Structure 1
């Protein structure tokens, strides 16, 4: 096989690998999104179970638990905003939509207290 044919074959192999890697990346993003959705659903179900098991708690404690859950999800590197919900955030990258939700949640809770 001449060098040009070898180079052509190598280029075709690289293109095929690039497509495979892109497909795997998309699959991984879908799995991460599904995993996040399941974590959120699991957390919500746990909260519902604890509500059924415990006596009625003041609304303030419920709000704080919800805020803590949202903060944990966001701090784990996932979006909580409706624009990109469940998508993985790049490390060190903040999302203004997510932060707005967290800020409004905190400010809303403070208004109810005062």
Structure 2
């Protein structure tokens, strides 16, 4: 190999190495962008899951505003210490014990 062809080979190799370095740099930037986007999506997913859990908890907790006016009246009677179920309707609840039948009458059908 003569000096001229050796010099040309080095020049060619230098150009190829620069191209390879540029490609490597572009790939590194692309990977960085993908990692950032992935992290962003993971955080968003985590927030959405938490929001769904919060909504699910709210959905299973009966609230006064979800009750009809008649059920709110029954609830008021129940809170005053009277049964509102068909088994013992109008009787005083002893020591304000809870009654599963009354609870079902007030809140039960809303969940069905």
**TM-score (normalizing by structure 2):** 0.45
- Larger Rg computed on CA atoms: 2
**TM-score (normalizing by structure 1):** 0.45
Higher relative contact order, chain-length normalized (CA < 8 Å, sep 6+): 1
